[in-house]
A and B are shown apart, each in its own frame.
Chain A
């Protein structure tokens, strides 16, 4: 990355792998379990969080010297709430069906621990550019896991990807369904999302020995 110094590119790349907010820090699990039954919802959720975190980190970083530390949590909440409402209204205006699927979880981005965590831990103490990169990096790390989980859950649970019937038609018995394949209903239930995330953590930890704790 010629654009970014080595230190800056670390801000983006670290959360994608060895310091992933979901699989390593185990934050933001609730939404990862709730909305990943469809790939489309996962992608929209990832983009929403990307927007909220990128802009939010910049805003907090801009204000970091004028926020009295006693009320900083309230200020952070106001910023997140403001951004989330924008996302919510945009979704309702341009993707109404999808916003109904995501329902309450768009509003609950406010409570996503990753966002408040990055505001507290990073944006309050760093410059605008670095805060922006950190926000983008963590949101991407979150989004990657969401999309991986959403991919497997939709493929195995409904036999579709983004609504396309990639495995054939279950009612007319074409494609894989012709030879007796059936969708796995368990994949659509939240417990299975937890197990999929667990398997991702397992794979990641067994590949990287530095992450193994005693």
Chain B
């Protein structure tokens, strides 16, 4: 307990000074503070913000570890010298490529959080803990670290701190960071090459390796190189942590079981995606769109397959459910989730140049979430007023 004592003394020493929030944050993060509420009536609950955040991180860790293995596995497969999935060779590539992403994401993000806490004189909030873990999972493996650092700084400042910090933000910070990267450095964020380690460097040389994405293959109506089983298990190229649908579903169930994530949003997002997929299937089957159309490839994908290609499930489980930016009312959550799924698939089909629209759809609905809540609440008020009138009369 020596560390705890030292921390406590440091905290006492800096109490009331400008740097106090920084030391308080380190202390609270590592240990239960000495000062807890005494006396009086209090509702005791263990699920404070720190616990909530840690739960989400626990749900993300399997995806991260899987992503590390997959990074190396895809790298060697693309080189033509496949290795076993669960091999040290595969994990090593993932380790040296993914770990720096995590370190930069946390380092830059937390530094900015601490800076703002000190300037504003409030306590450091736990909000960045989850964002910092999500960011490395949703970027391509070969993204230069300085780009990630710039994007994290932008996302935390413009996406969150200008609105007043954790709990006040309109947009999901992790997705703001991804959107910034996508619009600022499109060559590193989209296309066939970026998803496999080493593919960009080797492009155009004799060692060129292909890393064609599933969505690209679907859009161009070419033969798929992967089985449905591979897609479900996650043995496909993609952003670091979003390929394994199995682990995402497991993480989603964990979040639902611990009551941290909203099952309404997850379920309605999936329903929305399926609905849009069914509509497109109908259009393709009815022959309203010819086989030569550039939309035909993705429109004719069996509707349920949309769930295992791309990142719709990852978005539904970890991004759409962000309690700050999602709708707050239960009915609002259904509408919000449904529209996310619906719009995601629509963007995916109609934008073959950049076929993954999940993050854009979630950001769009983040903006609309307060409006949805407003009308749900007003609807409730109106219904009750009517009931009251009927009773009085």
Contacts and interface: CB of A to CB of B under 8 A. Distances in A.
B11 to A, nearest CB: 29
B194 to A, nearest CB: 13
A182 B183 contact: no
B184 A187 contact: yes
B379 to A, nearest CB: 33
Of the candidates A186, A189, A195, A198, the one having the most CB atoms from chain B within 10 angstroms of its own CB is: A186
A55 B187 CA distance: 47
A202 B162 contact: yes
A195 B155 CA distance: 12
B147 interface: yes
B368 interface: no
A184 interface: yes
Interface string B180-195: 1001111110000000
Contact of A185 (B150, B162, B184): B184
Contacts of A2: none
A180 interface: yes
B146 interface: yes
Nearest to A156: B184
Contacts of B144: 180, 182
Interface of A is mostly: helix
Contacts of A184: 150, 184-185
Nearest to A179: B146
A185 B144 CA distance: 15
Nearest to B181: A186
Contact of B147 (A182, A187, A189, A202): A182
Interface of B is mostly: helix
Contacts of B183: 185-186, 189
A209 to B, nearest CB: 15
Contacts of A180: 144, 146
A185 B146 contact: no
B359 to A, nearest CB: 15
Contact of B186 (A181, A185, A195, A202): A185
Contacts of B150: 184
Contacts of B188: 182
A171 to B, nearest CB: 13
A185 B158 contact: no
A189 B186 CA distance: 13
Contacts of B146: 180-181
Contact of B158 (A182, A189, A195): A195
Nearest to B146: A180
Interface string A185-211: 111010000010010001000000000
B162 A182 contact: no
Interface string B130-167: 00000000000000101100100000001000100000
Interface string B291-304: 00000000000000
A188 to B, nearest CB: 9
B162 A186 contact: no
Interface string B59-89: 0000000000000000000000000000000
A205 to B, nearest CB: 12
B156 to A, nearest CB: 14
A181 B146 CA distance: 9
Nearest to A182: B185
B205 to A, nearest CB: 16
A191 to B, nearest CB: 8
Interface in A63-109: none
A187 B154 CA distance: 12
Given A195-B158, A202-B162, A186 B180 contact: yes
B184 A186 contact: yes
Contacts of A186: 180, 183-184
Interface of B: 144, 146-147, 150, 158, 162, 180, 183-188
Interface of A: 180-182, 184-187, 189, 195, 198, 202
Given A180-B146, A184-B185, 20 more contacts: A180-B144, A181-B146, A182-B144, A182-B147, A182-B185, A182-B187, A184-B150, A184-B184, A185-B183, A185-B184, A185-B185, A185-B186, A186-B180, A186-B183, A186-B184, A187-B184, A189-B183, A195-B158, A198-B162, A202-B162
**What 10 pairs across the A-B complex have the smallest Cβ distances?**
A186-B184, A186-B183, A184-B184, A185-B184, A180-B144, A185-B186, A182-B185, A195-B158, A186-B180, A189-B183
7 contacts: A180-B146, A182-B147, A182-B185, A184-B150, A185-B185, A186-B184, A202-B162
